[in-house]
Amino acid sequence: MSSPPISPLLRHLRLRHACAAAAVLVALVSTPARADCWDVAADRYGLDPLLLYAIAQVESNLDVNASNVNRNGTHDIGLMQINSAHLPTLARYGLTERRLREDACASIVTGAWILAGFVRQYGYGWEAVGAYNAGSGEARATLRQRYADKVRKRYAVLVAERERQMTLR
C-alpha cells in the first residue's frame, strides 16, 4: 500500500506564504544554518522548506555535528545525515565530507538534492520521504514507512505552527 501524497494544498500554501514560512523558519532555526538556506534548497528542488526542516529534526535533531555509523559500513554526516555512499558523486561537485560537517547550508542543499532524486522516483509523497532514510527497493518498504511516519509527525507540528503564525498576522 503506497503512502498518501503530500497534500496539494500544502504545496500551494508553500508558494503563497513563502514570506510567512521564512518568518517561522527564522524563529525555529536553532542551528548555525540561516533560514534562507532552507528556502534556497527548497526552491531549487521544488520542496517545502518545512519538510526539509522536519527531516533534519528527525535525522540529527538539528545537530550540525551529528554522525552515525551504519551496519553496512557507511556513515551519515552532519545536519541532514548525508550517507557516505554519496561522497564519490558529491566530490565531482566539490563537496567533501568536511564541508558537509562544517557548512550546514551545504548539508541542507545536499539533503534536498537527495530527496529530490527520490521524489523523481516515487513522486512527491511520503514514499519519497521514507526513501531519504531507508533507500529504495521493495525489501525496504516497511523501513520507509516507519521513517516517513516520524517525519510526517514532525512536519505536521511545523505546518500547524506556520498556520498559527499566519493567523496571528
Determine, yes or no, domain membership for 3: no
Mean pLDDT of the chain: 86
The single residue listed with the C-alpha cell 568536511 is 98
For the beta sheet containing 67-69, the strands, ordered from the edge strand earlier in sequence to the opposite edge, are 67-69, 75-77, 82-83
Nearest of 58, 52, 64 to residue 103 by alpha carbon = 64
Q: How many domains does the chain have?
A: 1
In-domain check, residue 109 = yes
Judge whether 1 lies within some domain.
no
* CATH code (residue 112): 1.10.530.10
2 part of a folded domain: no
Give the pLDDT score at 28: 36
Q: What is the mean pLDDT of residues 4-13?
A: 49
Q: Which domain holds residue 105?
A: 8-167
Structure confidence by residue, pLDDT tens digits, 123-159: 999 999 999 999 999 999 999 999 999 999 999 999 9
Q: Residue 135 to residues 18, 144, 165: CA-CA distances in angstroms?
A: 30, 7, 34
149 lies in some domain: yes
How confident is the model over 81-129, as pLDDT tens digits?
999 999 999 999 999 999 999 999 999 999 999 999 999 999 999 999 9
